[in-house]
């Protein structure tokens, strides 16, 4: 069976940082912090004025391990208990989901829920239900 370690302090710190980033982006730019929308704006920018802050946010999101290396002297341990094909399938499923859901968990779950958006509440419930079903199937039906 696949086990997931519970890391309350790292999880809390990550959640606080995501929340602060969302509040800061809304306060300074008037924009919702949705990681998928940020990435989409880098791949197909609608204006050159949007590209700078999107790139800065994206680079900030992916340089976390380097910051940990500088602070602690070691890279954070990353364990991915599934095969590369499973990761690819998961990536496609997530891509389809965020397209049909008009956003991702950071946009709907963090920002939309905070604004009490009915669409975001419905999307977040659908994300969480789908996640629960997926984990059950992977751990108990396929992994079995």
| Cα distances (Å, whole numbers) of residue 47 to 42, 44, 52, 93, 139 | 10, 9, 10, 29, 44
Could you list the mean pLDDT of each consecutive 10-residue stretch along the chain, which spans 144 residues? 74 88 89 85 82 89 86 82 85 83 82 89 90 85 73
**How high is the pLDDT of residue 67?**
87
**How high is the pLDDT of residue 91?**
85
Q: Nearest to residue 107, comparing CAs of 41, 8, 60? A: 41
**How high is the pLDDT of residue 122?**
92
Q: Which residues contact 76 (CB under 8 A, 6 or more apart)?
A: 64, 65, 68
Quote the tokens at residue 60.
Answer: 């900030």
**How high is the pLDDT of residue 121?**
93
**How high is the pLDDT of residue 4?**
67
| Cα distances (Å, whole numbers) of residue 111 to 11, 45, 60, 90 | 18, 22, 19, 24
State the number of CA atoms in the 13 A half-sphere of 17 facing the CB: 10
**How high is the pLDDT of residue 134?**
83
**How high is the pLDDT of residue 118?**
94
The region, left, alpha or beta by phi > 0 then psi within -120 to 50, assigned to residue 83 is beta
**How high is the pLDDT of residue 12?**
92
Quote the tokens at residue 82.
Answer: 């599934």
Asked whether the beta carbons of 32 and 26 are under 8 A apart, the reply is yes
What is the separation of C-alpha 95 from the centre of its chain, rounded to a whole number of angstroms? 12
Could you identify the residue written with the tokens 């997530």? 94
């Amino acid at each position: 069976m696949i086990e997931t370690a519970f890391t309350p302090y790292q999880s809390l710190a990550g959640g606080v940082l995501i929340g602060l980033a969302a509040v800061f982006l809304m306060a300074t730019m008037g924009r919702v912090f949705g990681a998928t929308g940020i990435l989409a704006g880098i791949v197909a920018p609608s204006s050159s004025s949007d590209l700078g802050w999107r790139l800065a946010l994206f680079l900030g999101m992916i340089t976390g391990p380097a910051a940990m290396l500088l602070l602690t002297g070691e890279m954070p341990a990353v364990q991915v208990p599934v095969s590369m094909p499973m990761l690819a399938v998961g990536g496609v499923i997530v891509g389809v989901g965020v397209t049909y859901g008009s956003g991702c968990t950071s946009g709907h779950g963090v920002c939309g829920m905070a604004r009490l958006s009915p669409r975001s509440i419905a999307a977040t419930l659908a994300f969480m239900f789908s996640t629960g079903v997926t984990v059950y199937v992977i751990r108990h039906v396929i992994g079995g």
